[in-house]
């Protein structure tokens, strides 16, 4: 290969042939230590084989970034994920770029365009159904990716981080059953999300195990936000035989349930017990403090960031699907019937 040919070889081509990201090649070129030895040897061998020569006159785009992508950023739930990712990024000397695509095709295209102009170590997508064109483009760019709380069933080649949502739904319902409640209302989350369906399945499993019938009128639709918790609880309390307890699929919907109970002239938990899901920081400061299922949101972000940085260094991920444990946190919003 001639020198001129060698100069035409790009680090993008080297990354593609090595099966790693562009930032990984950049780290090898800069002699950084945060690259797996086998990956470093493979990249260095390809650089030698192709006679790669750095163009000193061309400015480098700085790397060391994690792209963190949400559909929306209007929830304290998102803040907890960001906190976990940022803790890992800060410790690793890596920057974080946070984006919200609002489930819009144009926003997704713009984000991908921005991604092409900056060298990113990897992408963490949160509560997203990874569309095939986005998946294909990230693969073409050799950008590692991790999904947190995926909306749909993810492909096996993409690591995912989630929580034990079915177990959480089961334990929340079992807690209310143990207090003597038999008519337990349920306010569901976004039906497109796997976590929503798992929490509903856990609720149903607990009722079945207790030998209680399923009443469909006790299940109200929701979307994880306050308003749907308010409206769902209003519908439940308007029933001829209303529930004595309500399990909301998110803390925000549980807070909406609080307001619906208040508007009805009732009290939590004297008249209606309420249990949430997430254990957001506000849960312990609400009035009354909310009994809820703790979902380790910050830890999920932390593990996602660690995983994507490992992938960026060329390391393998042994377990493609990780579910972190959920826990029941009993406070003052639930009491014996």
Average pLDDT, the chain: 88
pLDDT in tens, 215-233: 999 999 999 999 999 999 9
Looking at domain 165-295, which of 3.40.50.2300, 3.20.20.70, 2.40.30.110, 3.30.1330.10 is its CATH number? 3.40.50.2300
Structure tokens at 327: 């826990």
pLDDT at 230: 98
Q: Are the C-beta atoms of 334 and 291 separated by less than 8 Å?
A: yes
pLDDT in tens, 17-37: 888 877 788 778 766 667 788
pLDDT at 315: 82
Could you give the CA distance from residue 16 to residue 120 in angstroms, rounded to a whole number?
15
Q: Where are the domains of the chain?
A: 11-50, 65-163+298-323, 165-295
C-alpha atoms less than 13 angstroms from C-alpha of 9 in its C-beta half-sphere = 20
pLDDT in tens, 120-155: 889 999 977 777 788 888 888 888 999 998 877 766
- The residues pairing with 173 across neighbouring beta strands, listed in sequence order, are none
Q: How large is the greatest C-alpha to C-alpha distance in the chain, in angstroms?
A: 85
Q: Are the C-beta atoms of 230 and 257 separated by less than 8 Å?
A: yes
Give the contacts of 38 (CB within 8 A, at least 6 positions apart). Answer: 314
Edge-first strand order for the sheet with 122-126 is 95-100, 65-70, 122-126, 145-148, 160-163, 321-324
- Residue 321 CB: number of other CB atoms within 10 A? 13
In CATH terms, the superfamily for domain 65-163+298-323 is Response regulator (3.40.50.2300)
- The residues pairing with 68 across neighbouring beta strands, listed in sequence order, are 98, 124
pLDDT at 6: 39
More confident residue, 316 or 169: 169
Give the contacts of 128 (CB within 8 A, at least 6 positions apart). Answer: 69, 70, 71, 147, 150, 151
Structure tokens at 329: 């946190």
Structure tokens at 137: 């483009």
């Amino acid at each position: 290969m001639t020198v001129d040919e060698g100069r035409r070889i790009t680090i993008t081509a080297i990354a593609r042939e090595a099966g790693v990201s562009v930032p990984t090649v950049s780290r090898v070129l800069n002699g950084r230590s945060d690259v797996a030895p086998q990956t470093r040897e493979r990249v260095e061998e390809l650089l030698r084989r192709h006679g790669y020569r750095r163009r000193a006159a061309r400015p480098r785009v700085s790397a060391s970034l994690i792209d963190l992508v949400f559909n929306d950023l209007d929830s304290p739930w998102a803040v907890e994920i960001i906190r976990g990712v940022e803790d890992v990024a800060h410790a690793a000397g890596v920057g974080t770029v946070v984006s919200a695509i609002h489930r819009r095709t144009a926003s997704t295209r713009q984000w991908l365009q921005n991604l092409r102009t900056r060298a990113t170590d990897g992408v963490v997508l949160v509560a997203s159904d990874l569309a095939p064109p986005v998946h294909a483009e990230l693969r073409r760019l050799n950008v590692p990716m991790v999904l947190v709380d995926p909306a749909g069933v993810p492909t096996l080649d993409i690591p995912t981080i989630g929580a034990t949502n079915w177990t959480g739904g089961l334990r929340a319902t079992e807690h209310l059953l143990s207090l003597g409640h038999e008519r337990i209302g349920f306010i569901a989350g976004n039906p497109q999300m796997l976590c929503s369906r798992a929490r509903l399945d856990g609720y149903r499993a607990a009722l079945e195990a207790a030998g209680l019938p399923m009443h469909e009128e006790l299940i109200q639709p929701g979307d994880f936000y306050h308003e749907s918790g308010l409206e769902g609880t209003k519908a439940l309390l308007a029933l001829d035989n209303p529930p004595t307890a309500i399990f909301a699929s998110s803390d925000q919907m549980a807070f909406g349930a609080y307001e619906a109970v208040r508007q009805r002239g009732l009290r939590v938990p004297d008249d209606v017990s309420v249990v949430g899901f997430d254990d957001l920081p506000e849960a312990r400061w609400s009035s009354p403090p909310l009994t809820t299922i703790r979902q380790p949101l910050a830890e999920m972000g932390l593990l996602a960031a660690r995983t994507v940085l490992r992938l960026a260094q060329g390391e393998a991920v042994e377990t493609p699907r990780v579910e972190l444990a959920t826990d029941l946190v009993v406070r003052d919003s639930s009491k014996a019937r």
